[in-house]
Amino acid sequence: MKVLGIESSCDETGLAIFDSEQGLLAHTLHSQVKKHAAYGGVVPEIASRDHIRTWLPLTRQCLSMAQLELRDLDAIAFTAGPGLAGALFTGAVAGRSLAWALQIPAIGVNHMEGHLLAPMLESDAPEFPFICLLVSGGHTQLVRVDGIGQYRLLGDTRDDAAGEAFDKTAKMLGLGYPGGPHLARAAESGNPDRFRFSRPMTDRPGLDFSFSGLKTAAITAFAEVDRNPECVADIAIAFESAAVDTLAIKCTRALKQEGISRLVASGGVAANSRLRLALEKSAAALGGRVFFPRLEFCTDNGAMIALAGAIRLEAGEHDSLGVVVRPRWPVDQLGVPADGAAADPM
């Protein structure tokens, strides 16, 4: 089954074609970073307009990369949530309409399920069960994964997501948007001994996170040195170390608690090289292993949406004709595939 995947939940338009027999055939991405940079964050209206302009040329590009025609597609998967409502609508309307025109099924995919399954795009995909650290701009969650759609939420952030804390801290330090990669780059030249921030919520039991205090600690430290530009890299590395340690400590705890040796880390922050190293060490210390998607599939992309859609479509699930998006859509509310299959795909 050849599935066209459309990702449009935030500031990236991702298109991909996944074949359930041959794997990923093509993928392409258009980043809106330059369009939002001047505003220091994502402007939803600009995001929606840009998705509308971009999805069709990217679809054509994908088809040509895969040497396919529109009529070769068997189904369409689009991100239906969580995300920005307007941005989600652009992909949902595009995907649903194209599927109707081609008389093929369409399915709305949960973006976080896409992130969670993204390591399965790689040749050494993890087997079930595994613990997944979903760590992105909007989410920081630990999920026990026993199979497709069998997701149990073990821990969640009580305030900011890790990526959000990276972005806000980077903004306050005068680094660019999006903050995560900029802060990570600044941290490379930082002195790790100059500042130290506590590892939030690691001194008590449980798997929940809190990153807003860490963000405030970094901002306060910067104010205390009179916003001295020479301290930016030192604060960046102190922030990054605290965030990375915290995530690694909670992952170790989750693996131990559940008696599972396989860890998956996915979502934009999983592109962070210090975090990748720390999680490798944590999993190895327990005799286990960590699996990551390749860097470009950690951040938002169409491939993970095409893959997640293909898995559910193969199981017989599909949406009805209406266009429904869910800006809030907890991943642990998803059922196993085919649970909610609609009667008429067209």
Token pair recorded at residue 90: 């652009």
Residue for token pair 């497709």: 148
**Residue 268 interacts with ligand KG4 (CB under 6 A)?**
yes
CA distance 230 to 89: 44
Contact between 143 and ligand KG4 per CB under 6 A:
no
178 binds, among ligand KG4, Zn ion, none (CB under 5 to 8 A by kind): ligand KG4
In this chain, which stretch among 47-55, 163-171, 246-254, 327-335 interacts with ligand KG4, using CB under 6 A? Answer: 163-171
Asked if 140 interacts with ligand KG4 (CB under 6 A), we say no
Nearer to Zn ion, 234 or 300 (CB): 300
By CB under 5 A, name the binding residues for Zn ion.
136, 300
Q: Where are the beta strands (DSSP E) in 170-327?
A: 262-266, 289-291
Of 32, 27, 277, nearest in space to 178 by CA:
32
User: Min. distance of Cβ 35 from Zn ion in angstroms?
Assistant: 18
Residue type, 25: L
Q: Please pick, from the candidates 81, 179, 190, 337, the single residue that binds ligand KG4 as defined by CB under 6 A.
A: 179
Contact stretch for ligand KG4 (CB under 6 A) within 16-24, 53-61, 177-185, 207-215 = 177-185
User: Which partner in Zn ion, ligand KG4, none is near 17 (CB below 5 to 8 A by kind)?
Assistant: none
Give residue for tokens 């939420």. 153
Q: What are phi and psi of 13, to 5 degrees?
A: -100, 115
117 scored as a contact of ligand KG4 (CB under 6 A): no
CA–CA separation, 60 vs 148, rounded Å?
30
- Reading the block at residue 48, the tokens are 């929606």
Tell me which residues in 277-336 interact with ligand KG4 (CB under 6 A): 299-300
Residues 315 and 58: their CA atoms lie apart, in Å, by: 27
Is residue 166 part of the contact set for ligand KG4 (CB under 6 A)? yes
Separation of alpha carbons 118 and 131, rounded Å: 14
Question: Is residue 76 near ligand KG4 by the rule CB under 6 A?
Answer: no
Give me the least distance between CB of 215 and ligand KG4, in Å please.
12
Specify the residue for token string 């293909």.
Answer: 310
Of the ranges 23-31, 50-58, 135-143, 151-159, which one interacts with ligand KG4 (CB under 6 A)?
135-143
Among 8, 13, 136, 169, binds ligand KG4 (CB under 6 A): 136
Q: For ligand KG4, which residue of 5, 126, 163, 190 counts as binding (CB under 6 A)? A: 163
Cβ proximity to ligand KG4: between 19 and 160 the closer is 160
Which does residue 167 bind out of ligand KG4, Zn ion, none, counting CB within 5 to 8 angstroms by kind?
Answer: ligand KG4
Region binding ligand KG4 by CB under 6 A among candidate stretches 45-53, 120-128, 172-180, 310-318 = 172-180
In 3D, which of 180, 167, 278, 190 has the Cα closest to residue 237?
190
Decide: is 267 part of the binding site for ligand KG4 (CB under 6 A).
Answer: yes
Q: Should residue 99 be labelled a site residue for ligand KG4 when binding is judged by CB under 6 A?
A: no
115/312 with CB nearer Zn ion:
115
How many Cα atoms sit within 13 Å of 142 on the Cβ side?
24
Interface positions with ligand KG4 (CB under 6 A): 10, 136-138, 163, 166-167, 178-181, 184, 267-269, 271-272, 299-300
